[in-house]
Structure 1
Amino acid sequence: MSFLVIDIGNTRLKWGLYAQPSPDAELLAHGAVVLEDIDYLWELHWKNLMHKPQGMLGCVVAGEAIKKRVEEQLIEGWGLAPRWLSSSAQAAGVTNGYEHPQRLGSDRWAAIIGARQRALQHSPEHPPAVLAVMVGTAVTVDAVDQKGRFLGGLILPGFGLMYRALESGTAGLKVPTGEVRDFPTNTSDALMSGGTDAIAGAIERSLRRLRVQCGSEPLLIMSGGAVSRLSHVHELPTSVVENLIFEGLLTLAATCTVAANAT
């Protein structure tokens, strides 16, 4: 039973087709489109796939209009009923500590569950606390303790938003093309280094807080379209996971504890 997972973010839709709804399933095909090209998703990506999905689960933050256009292509192309993840108070062994659990972004919820699954794989008997970092248009930094309780997390601007804010709000500064340096000596390097240090610093502070909270060394997992911009930061002892949100969606599909909206 092939299974389709979809992550509709702020700028791109990412999809993966797996052999079955399981976090360790074989990846059969995958792709991504910018939201401006969403109308061509079926023709350019899905129409000629060798395997027809028998089910799907997705998360979406891009808004209702984008979601509806994707649903149309799923229904018209495959006759596939769309199912979209909604955050819940508990799922897949994770307790949601958000003040209003249903208001937690479904993409964050999926990434948190994927990170917890990684912690369980790391040490099934004594899973570590884990910090799940998604680096995209925005950056989210979410903490889960050893018992699978989501403690809370941060949201901050991603690299693009940060640089565009500086460009639009400061005379003479342009989006940087420089390098990350310890002590930048030109404006482009200074901008690039400042953005990297701002995000890395937020991650380091959260990691330190989680270490104190749990009394042991947490697992740091990072994912997202812009994660490569942080992979060289030696102070972050991280594991980079290519599709953390997909892993969370597959875990939820496998456990049959999905809070989802079906169309």
Structure 2
Amino acid sequence: MNIAIDAGNSRIKWGVHDGTGWLDSGVLATADVAWLSEAADEWPADARVMVCNVAGSEVAATLSALLAGRHARVSFLHASAEACGVRNTYEFPGQLGADRWAALIGARALLEHACLVVCAGTATTVDLLDADGVFRGGLILPGFDLMRAALADNTAQLPLADGVFRSEPRNTMDAIVSGCLQAQLGAVERMFAAIATAPGARCLLTGGAAAPLAAHLKIPFQLADNLILNGLVRYAESR
């Protein structure tokens, strides 16, 4: 039995996996991390716990404290040079974000072809994984909501826009929303071009902000809701 916890900047996702499928799962705001103890009380005490944390040392300390009294086997994922059929070619492999590493491991388990792994959340990450399981590099850019907030916070006359996507926007709200989405889509589609001719190549899209991108992507893609959690389980089972 494995418990996977993905602690991101905005949300914490968790799931209980029995080796064949998810028995239970949940999500809460990262600011409410202490409330995870209520879910943890229901988890099997002998389960292995694998954590991916990119929310900082304070969240890591809180998770460690609330899990320590309940589970003897708790591990935090850190990127390495190789794991689960994925080879990490980052200049300094250990500096790759744990969430990106987990997503790459999850992607390799899901798809043997070349793929572009896109995690859309507070930040958007766009990572290339070739058919041999080699991570060839990737991008980090502000997520869609962060882009909108940056315009609202740092300009005198632009609001936190709540417009709609249009190919030719004709009002300020739509112009902001469309511009931020086009920036996201452009980064994804430009990166996909590197593997577009590879057999079976596709984009795997995950994260809380995936839906707006999925509505407008013009490349082969599939939604993979639990990609990071699946990667955590695969890594735990490989140890």
Deviating runs (4+, > 3 A) in structure 1? 50-53
Q: Which residue of the other structure, out of 189, 194, 201, is the alignment partner of 2:179?
A: 194
Cα deviation, 1:31-86, whole Å, max 9, x if unaligned, reads 1111221122213x232x2644511111111111111111111122x233320011
Aligned to 1:95: 87
Cα deviation, 1:130-172, whole Å, max 9, x if unaligned, reads 1100000000000011111100000000012111111111111
Q: Which residue of the other structure, out of 46, 52, 55, is the alignment partner of 1:59?
A: 52
Aligned to 1:145: 130
1:72–1:172 Cα change, 3 Å: same
Identity among equivalent positions (%) equals 38
- Give the residue type in structure 2 aligned to 1:29: D
- Give the residue type in structure 2 aligned to 1:167: A
Structure 1 segment 75-224 matched on structure 2, within 5 A: 75-76=68-69, 78-120=70-112, 128-211=113-196, 215-216=198-199, 218-224=201-207
Counterpart CA distance in 1 for 2:140 and 2:153 is: 21
Cα deviation, 1:197-255, whole Å, max 9, x if unaligned, reads 1000000000002336xx54522100001101111114132100111001111111222
Aligned to 1:4: 3
Counterpart CA distance in 2 for 1:50 and 1:85 is: 20
- Give the residue type in structure 1 aligned to 2:121: G
Q: Is the 8 A contact 1:119 1:219 kept in 2?
A: no
Counterpart CA distance in 2 for 1:255 and 1:72 is: 25
Q: Which residue of the other structure, out of 39, 42, 46, is the alignment partner of 2:34?
A: 39
Q: Is the 8 A contact 2:84 2:238 kept in 1?
A: yes
Structure 2 gaps of 5+ residues are: none
Q: Which residue of the other structure, out of 62, 65, 74, is the alignment partner of 1:69?
A: 62
Structure 1 gaps of 5+ residues are: 121-127, 257-263
Q: Is the 8 A contact 2:202 2:221 kept in 1?
A: yes
Counterpart CA distance in 1 for 2:163 and 2:188 is: 22
Counterpart CA distance in 2 for 1:69 and 1:35 is: 11
SS of 1:203's equivalent in the other structure is helix
- Give the residue type in structure 2 aligned to 1:236: I
Counterpart CA distance in 1 for 2:145 and 2:230 is: 26
1:141–1:234 Cα change, 3 Å: closer
Q: Is the 8 A contact 1:74 1:81 kept in 2?
A: no
The alignment's TM-score, normalised by the length of structure 2, stands at 0.95
SS of 2:164's equivalent in the other structure is coil
The alignment's TM-score, normalised by the length of structure 1, stands at 0.86
Counterpart CA distance in 1 for 2:188 and 2:33 is: 32
